[in-house]
Amino acid sequence: MSETYAIEMLGITKKFGNILANDHIDIRLKKGHILALCGENDAGKSTIMSILFGLFQPDEGVIKKEGVEVKIQNPNDATKLNIGMVHQHFKLVDSFSVLQNIILGDETLKEYPDKPNVFQKAFNFLNKHIFKIIDVKKAREEVNKIIEQYDLQVDLDKKVKDISVEMQQKVEIIKMLYRHNEILIFDEPTAVLTEQEIQDFLTVLTHLKEEGKSIIFISHKLNEVFQVSDEITVIRKGLYIDTLKTSETTKEEVSSLMVGRKVEFISEKEKKTPQEEVLRVEHLSIMDPSSKKKVVNDVSFNVRKGEIVTLAGIDGNGQQEVIYGITGLMKMQSGSIMLDRKDISTLSIRERIKAGISHIPEDRHKHGLVLDYSIYENSILDRYFEKDYSQHLLLKDKNITKYGDELIEKYDIRSSGDGNTLVRGMSGGNQQKIIIGREIERNQDLLIAVQPTRGLDIGAIEGIHELLLKQRENDKAILLVSLELDQVFSLSDRILVMYEGEIVGEFDPHEVDRETLGLYMSGARKDQVNAIKENKHD
Amino acid sequence: MTKIKTFFSTLLKKEGTKTVITSLWCALLGLILGFLLLLFINAKEAAYGMTSVLGNYLIFSNPQDRLNYFGQTLAKTAPLIAMSLSILVCYKAGLFNIGGSGQYSIAVIVITFLGIGANMPWYLTMIVAMIASMLWAMITGALKAFFNVNEVISGIMLNWIALYITNGILSTNSIVWDSPHSEAFTISTTSNSYIPSIGLDKLFANNSIVGLGMILILVVVVIIFILFKKTTLGYELKTTGLNSDAASYAGMNKVKNVLIATAISGALAGLAASLNLQNGFTSWRLSSTPVDIGFQGISSAFLGGLHPIGVIFSSYFIVHISEGGSMITDLGFSPEVASIMTSLIIYLSGFVFFIKELLRRHEIKLEFAKATRGKEGQA
């Protein structure tokens, strides 16, 4: 072997309960190279990197550093081996200055270096073991040296909470360099950045490589991957697929490896011609209140009776926010939302519910259920104010119990007791059935379902698919948000692909293949889309 | 036999039973530590001291005395129940009302001026006092609802502000003083604003402080019980408290709910002041610290399992040992020992949550073990 590997992870297997997160995955990072780790959501990318950083222990497999086998029990071991990681969510102390954050955990202590006299020796000893006074001046010098060497301009005296996300990322990078890390892991580093910031970041990455660092770069945005990486390792659903040289492959090939070539099963849907329009979203834009980033940018689409329209895309590309905008959970910046030809843009959440929106939320524990409520109490969460369930400020217990029992019966909701059982102790599938039953039974024109099968097993998933298709038969308008291509293909009548807050393509599931969809989802086709858009304007 | 067994095991699984058990544990823990304290200070008299703390009025041999002091304990329980309910209502809505003391003090101003100064009828005094406390509590509520100011911080600050306002106003208005320079304010039994006894005093050896107040507080308990059990408002408050994201999802108005919750609990704190001062027995004295009852209410609410009915018993228990504690000074214990001992018991009562959490974890462990075993069995 002529080339030495900075890190080799061989046959890594990791199980969480019954779920196989990593199944014999091999990762070989050459010295001074950039290795891109690609895969869809839940492919196991973060798990394998967490193993390398010592956050998890593998069930099987070995890790070698420069050919020597090592054990990484915790992040401290990883740091000792000069492995550093920038997590997707930064690990910084908001109220500390940049400099304090950089030296935190690896402080340079005050010391008298050259031939100290007895008192100074005593001071050195005491300071090392008891006082631990930090030599801020020396630390600052060291950090400044790094800043110059790698051209990473940051203001060391500003507090982290006062600087931009891009700057915070630079702080994370300097932190690794200050610890003399040689192997740098970046977990989806560009997810939080704007287009221009991404370009700057990629320049920094190349610069780091030139200085001899070895880098693992986790991403599913193929444009960036092809711009900077030397090799690409693809994993899919916990399985190792292949490692390719970037110069010898194409985006199309990588994309098809990521999504798989499986012949997909499109469930036998009755052919239907969609009827009148129920929901029309026009030029919807939403700004994230904390990052001030436009998370939804000029999105327009409609949903008609008797069709399932799917917002597809990789997690975090604005699908969730579009739904929040429609239901009123998030303030819209501009645009309009029409429900049954009435403008609901200015209505409150409650008024929108009454106007005819059923909403199966993404996070059942956060929005969908009150875990310390019983099945009965949860079954009326967004309809307790209706005449059937309350009158003159009093709840109608009899009707509520009756309705709850109906839901339990009709949707086969199983628990250890009757409808008085607390939802907290129930399985995820049964919890989800409460929400789905509740929302379907509200019998509104529009049904919004956000990742309705998240975290459920195959049996439960099929049941929920059937329920959604039945709603389609009943001429409801259904807006689905899904991250899973299998689901997108088997349910949708129309697929809208979202990338970075915009709809970048609309497809008929019968006329598009997974590879094309994958390319659009990872933004590889964005340039073309933009070109088409510009042509339209001309 | 098995029937009885299953009955008990289902009973044990019920949330209510668990709460009762944890509360009893806490009370016991407090009593044991209190006893250890007495042993440490004066081992000889400790056992007798403990008996008088636990016995309270029961240590009297004369049945008339017993009845009299029993009545007194009951009458003093009423205001604590009101204060506990005040904490409870906020807590259910996800807020921590630590400002009970301040709300109480504001009611005191109204009661002294309307009751002593203007000699208004008792119900009018009571209602105005409750409104004043309600408005005061809504300052915290508004700060929370509109500016997301932490209600604990603003509550504590408002406690001191209310205390100084009360002291300032009362110390400079001699019309409400009992006697020149007394710095005490008492509503006499002949006053219009004295809550009538309606004959209840006869049942307790002519103890005039027993009266309508006790019946009134039971009515309030029932109202609060119904509020959370049967009404849409209660459902909204509980939802906001348990999962505020789900409350927004269901389109509940959080601002409105926070304001209503603080308003109700303010009114209840005002009621506590009214029941305490308008019985012709308790005096208000200028004080340098916020009144105890606001904090005892917190212990009592938790010890009562945050249940309106449970609060009746926990409040009685706390008043019972406080009254009993005040008797041990006769045994050569200093008054401070009595109050240390009773507050030890009271504050340990606040451990309910801690013990409940321990129980819960234990149960999850058991269930988890059972579930995994079950799965393996199936496979």
DSSP state of A74: S
Residue numbers of chain A with a pLDDT score lower than 70: 1-3, 17-18, 41-42, 261-268, 457-459, 525-538
In Å, what is the CA distance from A418 to each residue of A131, A423, A429, B8? 62, 11, 17, 18
DSSP bridge partners of B101: none
C-alpha A134/C-alpha A143 separation (Å) is 14
How do beta strands A307-312 and A494-499 pair? Answer: parallel
Write b or e for each residue in A499-512: b if 16 or more Cβ atoms lie within 10 A of its Cβ, otherwise e.
bbbbbbbebebeeb
Task: Give chain B's length.
Answer: 379
Taking alpha carbons only, the member of B247, B272, B263 closest to residue B89 is B263
The 3-state DSSP class for residue A458 equals helix
Q: For chain A, what is the largest distance between any 2 Cα atoms, rounded to a whole number of angstroms? A: 92
Q: Give the mutation candidate from B232, B233, B306 for the A interface (greatest A CB count, under 10 A).
A: B232
In Å, what is the CA distance from B236 to each residue of A367, A453, B228, B247? 15, 28, 9, 7
Domains of chain A by range and CATH?
A: 1-82+182-261 (3.40.50.300), 277-537 (3.40.50.300)
B230 part of contact set with chain A, CB < 8 Å: yes
Do A381 and B250 make contact, defined as CB atoms within 8 angstroms? yes
The pair of structure tokens assigned to A440 is: 């379907």
The pair of structure tokens assigned to B99 is: 């400002």
pLDDT tens digit string along A86-113? 987 788 888 899 999 999 887 778 777 7
In Å, what is the CA distance from B332 to each residue of A350, B17, B45, B69, B342? 65, 40, 8, 22, 16
Question: DSSP labels for A274-333?
Answer: --SEEEEEEEEEEE-TTT--EEEEEEEEEEETTEEEEEE-STTSSHHHHHHHHHTSS--S
pTM passes above 0.80: no
Distance (Å) from the alpha carbon of B292 to chain A's nearest alpha carbon: 32
The pair of structure tokens assigned to A20 is: 């196989």
pLDDT attached to residue A485: 82
Do A371 and B243 make contact, defined as CB atoms within 8 angstroms? yes
Here the ipTM equals: 0.81
Q: By CA distance, what is B252's nearest residue in A? A: A350
Q: Which B residues, 339 through 368, put their C-beta within 8 Å of a C-beta on chain A? A: 367
Report yes or no: A44 and A25 within 8 Å, Cβ to Cβ: yes
To 10 degrees, the CA torsion angle through A200, A205, A211, A215? Answer: 170
Contacts of B246 in chain A (CB under 8 A): 366-370, 381
Domains of chain B by range and CATH?
A: 45-50+62-367 (1.10.3470)
C-alpha A282/C-alpha A477 separation (Å) is 17
Taking alpha carbons only, the member of A41, A53, A48, A43 closest to residue A10 is A48
B336 part of contact set with chain A, CB < 8 Å: no
Query: Please, what is the Cα angle at B182 between B179 and B184, to 5 degrees?
Result: 100
pLDDT tens digit string along A391-415? 888 999 999 999 999 999 998 888 8
Give the type of residue at A346: T
Do A372 and B248 make contact, defined as CB atoms within 8 angstroms? no
pLDDT tens digit string along A333-354? 999 999 999 999 999 999 999 9
Do A381 and B239 make contact, defined as CB atoms within 8 angstroms? yes
Contacts of B230 in chain A (CB under 8 A): 394-395, 397
Q: By CA distance, what is B250's nearest residue in A? A: A382
Residue numbers of chain B with a pLDDT score lower than 70: 1-2, 8-13, 181, 335, 338, 342, 346, 349-350, 352-353, 364-379
DSSP state of A384: T
Taking alpha carbons only, the member of A90, A97, A88 closest to residue A161 is A97
DSSP state of A218: E
* Residue from the list A349, A351, A385 with its beta carbon closest to the beta carbon of B248: A349
Distance (Å) from the alpha carbon of A371 to chain B's nearest alpha carbon: 8
Q: Please name the residue that has the structure tokens 């409105």.
A: B256
Do A372 and B242 make contact, defined as CB atoms within 8 angstroms? yes
pLDDT attached to residue A263: 41
pLDDT attached to residue A256: 82
Taking alpha carbons only, the member of B31, B19, B16, B15 closest to residue B317 is B31
